[in-house]
Structure 1
């Protein structure tokens, strides 16, 4: 019983709406027509609403009945998901898989693995969080995420188990009208320090560890998309992931430039799949981790 109705009554209502009559609903549900009629009469009485117009040869859904039948479908679908999650949990699957993903991580290489996860665990609720730098590691340590797809700079912390998945190329870029865009040689520290550097920072500790700083004038951002907006508007320079600037470069909105003795690895920054050392993922999380590792080894 849910409040003043039962799931069985809702199932009867939805079945009648789908098959068109009480008698057809009885055949589909393998019940006597009298039982079908009684279920609807009880539902109408408890809700104080006429679900069917009985003046004709056969009962027809009223306007209220049509609307409530749609709501009944949603309730039944939700109840089915409830039962499916409970069944999966009884089988050892975690009730929810929480993933934390760094903003610099490209989504495309992860899509196939996430499709496979959905096929393998179709009833598993999955939640994603994308925060500023440091957010994924913080979620692992707090236990609010089972897995993180993230950067780990300057090195993998001792309290984290991490597996390299892919590399993301980072390129120094500016808007076409920015003074650095016309520089004919590699930029030296003296060239960079007077220009605003647009820095992606940890929202919790913005003055914490930062890497690749080369300017005395810093504008700090938590949101990568917002930083791109300011980059395109010519407010400063920064290093951006190649997958995010391909289109602005092709259209001429942005231009790359070289930095003398740039400390950023030429092969790109390593993206890891990671979990807390003292907190292993559940069944689905381990499955996804192995799937990500397998695709990384193949690709």
Structure 2
């Protein structure tokens, strides 16, 4: 019985397919199938139900999976501890942030890391959708900043720390708003203007349901930074995270639109997220303590 076989078993339970395991572990599907068959032979009883379209766990396989998960977690913790004991402070600290979250909230803590651990290289990357959480889960990043929903725990064993509320604002340029020629706006007035709307953000928000607007001209973009630039260019109105347009509103490049009852309340928070399966280094821990 090999550790890699137990990891395949855990990934199979999470992805639901041999293909999913192969993609996660960078193996061929044939190699994964063979390894799982060998594991079944090693344990001496049936782990899988092969009667359906997909490979599923038998009742004894599910019991075996629970202990396999613990073995894999212990190995990951041991590996993380060995790396920390060998190197001391992390040679690199990788932080990913969702495009809907301005990373400036992390800067004071990052400055502390620069002073306390000058040899630690900091790598920041913006990611869309759930890629940041996947990076944390796969060990490709230590910390992620993203809007958080409890359902995200199905993607990995995460620890989270609340950072701030996730606020959505309706905005457009003052000139575009003035073009409507009305002092008091109603919901239907916005139908005269194009709507700029993010697509595939994967933060648990369906903007079409929130605003319930009939079909008007729309421009869909795949990240909020591009959406902000289109708003600043006067290309239309849109719903966007407040952190990304706060400065533009202060300098009056954008104007907030307030229409009573227009938008359903969205109750989300921005969280700092890390894996519960590895031991944090001192640089990571310094940042984590600022929010936990």
- TM-score of the superposition, structure 1-length normalised? 0.55
Note the 1:246-261 alignment, pairs <5 A.
246-261=246-261
Structure 1 match to 2:274: 275
CA distance in 2, matches of 1:151, 1:243: 12
Q: Pick the aligned partner of 1:212 from 207, 212, 220.
A: 207
2:176 matched to 1:175?
A: no
Q: Secondary structure at the match of 2:290?
A: helix
Q: Secondary structure at the match of 1:157?
A: helix
CA contact (8 A) 2:148 2:268 kept: no
Structure 1 match to 2:228: 228
CA drift at 1:147: 0.8
In the alignment, structure 2 segments of 5+ residues that lack a partner are: 1-82
Structure 2 match to 1:245: 245
Instruction: Give the 4+ runs in structure 1 shifted more than 6 A.
Output: none
Give the structure with higher Rg (CA).
Answer: 1
Q: Given the superposition, is the C-alpha separation of residues 282 and 247 from structure 1 closer, same or farther in structure 2, using an over 3 Å criterion?
A: closer
CA contact (8 A) 2:99 2:127 kept: yes
In the alignment, structure 1 segments of 5+ residues that lack a partner are: 1-86, 294-299
CA distance in 1, matches of 2:195, 2:275: 33
Structure 1 match to 2:160: 162
CA distance in 2, matches of 1:169, 1:132: 18
CA drift at 1:251: 4.3
2:86 matched to 1:90?
A: yes
Q: Given the superposition, is the C-alpha separation of residues 260 and 140 from structure 1 closer, same or farther in structure 2, using an over 3 Å criterion?
A: farther
CA drift at 1:255: 1.9
Q: Pick the aligned partner of 2:115 from 116, 119, 124.
A: 119
Q: Given the superposition, is the C-alpha separation of residues 106 and 278 from structure 1 closer, same or farther in structure 2, using an over 3 Å criterion?
A: same
CA distance in 2, matches of 1:112, 1:246: 19
CA drift at 1:193: 5.8
Q: Given the superposition, is the C-alpha separation of residues 117 and 246 from structure 1 closer, same or farther in structure 2, using an over 3 Å criterion?
A: same
CA contact (8 A) 2:174 2:253 kept: yes
CA drift at 1:176: 2.3
Structure 2 match to 1:133: 129
Q: Secondary structure at the match of 1:117?
A: helix
- TM-score of the superposition, structure 2-length normalised? 0.56
